[in-house]
Amino acid sequence: MSSVPTPGEVDIDTLVQAIDHLQEQNERLTERVDTLESDLEQTQDKLEGLEAEKADLQETNERLRARLKDCEQETTRLDALTDATRKRSGMNKQRIEELQARELEKGAHLLAETVDHHEIDIDGDHLERITKANDRTYYRLPQSDDPLDRGGNVALAHGDLLPIQQLSRMDEEMLCSTANALPTRLAAKLWKARTDSSVGDNLWESGCKGIKEYVKASDLKHWIRRQEPGTSETYAKKLVSRTIDAVLDLSNHRVAVRKRTERKNGLEYTERRLVLPTDAAIPGETPDSSKPEQNPETAGVHR
């Protein structure tokens, strides 16, 4: 006969089952906790990675902002420089047009591509377009012969002149406004004295053996002090080299520097000379006389 448990008695099998069930639950909970801890560690790692990435992005953002500020400042500087250059270009264009008008009124023939005939202000307000024997087109005042009488083969257009020739044709006021550097102005004056007898104080001496003319550096120093009263001898010596460099540059190196041994008071010394070779191609000074003279063909009159 089976026994029936009395109240208060514990069924061993039921207790064992309950314990087993609790153990299974505990194992599942333990596994769940382990999974959550692993997930938490991964989340923390990701968070740390995101924080590091955020810091990198903030640093990159600061660098980009600094670059942007620098770019904005450079853009502002370039805009100001562009405006200043545009203004100077406009002023230079006006000066060139004024010089061209003067040359045309003197009878010069200017290459057509160098002349804006719509803007140039001349007496009579119209120009004649001609084609010369060299197949190039020029502007001139109507029926105005080339003042250099070179048969129509070459004409002294402003754009054809060497920079030093262009500067030497300017008056004192225009030269000062065009050339900021003192050596540049001195170079222009030195060249002008060579080509314009009315200027006076001409240092250029006649040369020989392939040298057309030359200037001694020692003479140039004294000339500079006469041109710029109050200039010290030490500064004048520096200006000699700078003026010579300016002449070389502005003449497109048609002139050159040569050293020559000189003797004074029984002592020898080396003297620098600025020389103009006889074969130097100076516009207006080296006409090609081998070509026959031909009359230019009129291509039209422009108003």
How does pLDDT run across 145-183, given as a tens digit for each residue?
554 444 443 445 556 688 898 888 888 888 888 888 999
Q: Is residue 227 part of a domain?
A: yes
Task: Measure the CA–CA gap between 296 and 132, rounded to whole angstroms.
Answer: 4
Q: Is residue 6 part of a domain?
A: no
Q: Report whether pLDDT(40) > 60.
A: yes
Task: Measure the CA–CA gap between 120 and 132, rounded to whole angstroms.
Answer: 22
Q: What is the pLDDT of residue 144?
A: 62
> Own/partner pairs for 99-104, CB < 8 Å, 24+ apart?
99/158, 99/166, 99/169, 99/170, 100/158, 103/156, 103/158, 104/139, 104/140, 104/141, 104/144
Q: Is residue 228 part of a domain?
A: yes
Q: What is the pLDDT of residue 9?
A: 60
- The SS3 of residue 292 is coil
Quick one: DSSP state of residue 4? P
φ, ψ of residue 82 to 5 degrees: the values are: -65, -45
Q: What is the pLDDT of residue 266?
A: 67
Q: Report whether pLDDT(186) > 80.
A: yes
199 to 21, 196, 239: CA distances (angstroms): 123, 6, 21
Task: Measure the CA–CA gap between 151 and 134, rounded to whole angstroms.
Answer: 10
The pLDDT confidence band at residue 239, using thresholds 50, 70 and 90, is very high
Average pLDDT of the segment spanning 241-259 = 92
Range of the domain at 236: 162-282
Q: Is residue 184 part of a domain?
A: yes
Q: Is residue 235 part of a domain?
A: yes
pLDDT digits (tens, 9 = 90+) for 265-279: 667 778 889 999 998
Q: Is residue 139 part of a domain?
A: no
Residue scoring higher pLDDT (1 or 24): 24
Q: Report whether pLDDT(5) > 60.
A: no
pLDDT digits (tens, 9 = 90+) for 46-59: 888 898 989 999 99
The pLDDT confidence band at residue 185, using thresholds 50, 70 and 90, is very high
Q: Is residue 250 part of a domain?
A: yes
Q: What is the pLDDT of residue 159?
A: 60
H helices of the chain, in order, are 12-105, 163-168, 172-178, 182-195, 217-227, 233-250
The pLDDT confidence band at residue 1, using thresholds 50, 70 and 90, is very low
Q: Is residue 272 part of a domain?
A: yes
Task: Measure the CA–CA gap between 89 and 134, rounded to whole angstroms.
Answer: 31
Q: What percent of the chain has pLDDT over 90?
A: 25
Structural domains in the chain (count) = 1
pLDDT digits (tens, 9 = 90+) for 71-108: 988 988 888 888 887 777 777 778 888 888 887 877 77
Task: Measure the CA–CA gap between 22 and 33, rounded to whole angstroms.
Answer: 16
Q: Which of 62-66, 129-133, 156-160 has the lowest mean pLDDT?
A: 156-160
CA 70 to chain centre: 22
Average pLDDT of the segment spanning 133-146 = 72
The pLDDT confidence band at residue 6, using thresholds 50, 70 and 90, is low
Q: What is the pLDDT of residue 214?
A: 94
- The predicted model scores a pTM of 0.47
Q: What's the token pair of residue 177?
A: 């406004």
The pLDDT confidence band at residue 114, using thresholds 50, 70 and 90, is confident
